[in-house]
Structure 1
Amino acid sequence: MPATTTPAPSLRLAEITPANVDAALGVKVREDQNAFVAPVERSLAEAYASRATAWPRLVMDGDEAVGFVVANFAPDEEEPDFRCGIWRLNIAGDAQGRGYGRFAVGAVAAEARVRGNRRLTVMWVPGGGGPEGFYLGAGFRPTGRVMGGQVVGEMVLDR
């Protein structure tokens, strides 16, 4: 596994637009990770279908798209685990281990705080080679619930 380095100050999240949608579609995780996360194409389709609450963004390092994240902010959602959460996080296979995923989680958490949320959730498919270690290292803790075969994790957001 490559050494983790501190992300450069040129990191930002960018709204998905017609000008950068091809860059978003070009974000591909490693082949062995495809069993754990849906491709960006599916995530964008789901975000479009849920555009009132979905928040899809490209993770940019300067002019290079290195990842994709989609969050959901639905304060009126009946199920508390779906009110504020990360739906998907895809970091390009050749860009992993450089802090981009942690940056994306932190940026979503910051957006959640701005929107008045105090809890951020994520769900992951358990299994060897899956994202559980990443999410635990990023500050999520399992809630003890499993939905659709996925572990529900939560992060309590400070003010």
Structure 2
Amino acid sequence: MTTSLQEITPENFETAIDLRVRPDQEHLVAPVVKSLAEAYVHPDIAWPRLICEDGEAVGFLMGFFDIDWTGEGTDFRSGLWRLNIADGQQGRGYGRFAVQSVADEIRRRGGTRLTTTWHPGADGPAGFYLALGFRPTGETSGDQTVGVLALN
């Protein structure tokens, strides 16, 4: 079994946009098609990828690099913008693989921390991110918690 990332191409575009999280999680993360639209209008910062197991799509991630977080030119961040693990594929390590893949890319680009956001509450993914070592910064982005992972 080999887990890998694939760039989004015309050949796998339909597979990517057909990927769905569990119905009870749809309110927690944007659909892949919205992420790809955002990547289209922000090609300089967005890094969309399919997560594949032996060539089969099991998830989607979108990283971001060097976003001016506050808009003041003083706080540039990189991290995980979106993470969608397909219905029926969760609990198999694909989310952990996704976070590690983005962390590796940030390190490759010279970064030392990974930022992400998540919906708070019992039905949100806070436990997943906290178990990976993310720590809430005390900030929010809209209604989401902002967390950071040091990449030592």
Number of aligned residue pairs: 149
In the alignment, what sits opposite 1:54?
Answer: 46
Q: Which amino acid aligns with 1:24?
A: A
Q: Deviations over 1:23-47 (max 9, x none)?
A: 1112110011011101101111111
In the alignment, which of 130, 143, 148 is matched to residue 154 of structure 1?
148
Report the identity percentage.
54
In the alignment, what sits opposite 1:124?
Answer: 118
The answer as to 2:7 corresponding to 1:15 is: yes
Q: 1: distance between equivalents of 2:134 and 2:8?
A: 26
Where structure 1 has 5 or more consecutive residues not aligned to the other structure, the ranges are: 1-7
Q: TM-score, normalised by structure 2?
A: 0.93
In the alignment, which of 63, 82, 85 is matched to residue 91 of structure 1?
85
Q: CA deviation at 1:52?
A: 0.9
Q: Which amino acid aligns with 2:84?
A: N
Q: CA deviation at 1:133?
A: 0.8
Q: CA deviation at 1:83?
A: 2.0
More strand by share: 2
In the alignment, what sits opposite 1:34?
Answer: 26
Q: Which amino acid aligns with 2:114?
A: L
Where structure 2 has 5 or more consecutive residues not aligned to the other structure, the ranges are: none
Q: Deviations over 1:114-145 (max 9, x none)?
A: 00000110001112211111111122111111
Q: Return the structure number with greater relative CO, CA threshold 8 A, min gap 6.
A: 1
Moved over 6 A (4+): none
Q: CA deviation at 1:70?
A: 0.2
Query: What CA RMSD, in Å, does the superposition of the two structures yield over aligned residues?
Result: 1.4
Q: TM-score, normalised by structure 1?
A: 0.89
In the alignment, what sits opposite 1:100?
Answer: 94
Q: 1: distance between equivalents of 2:76 and 2:22?
A: 27
DSSP-derived class of the 1:69 partner = strand
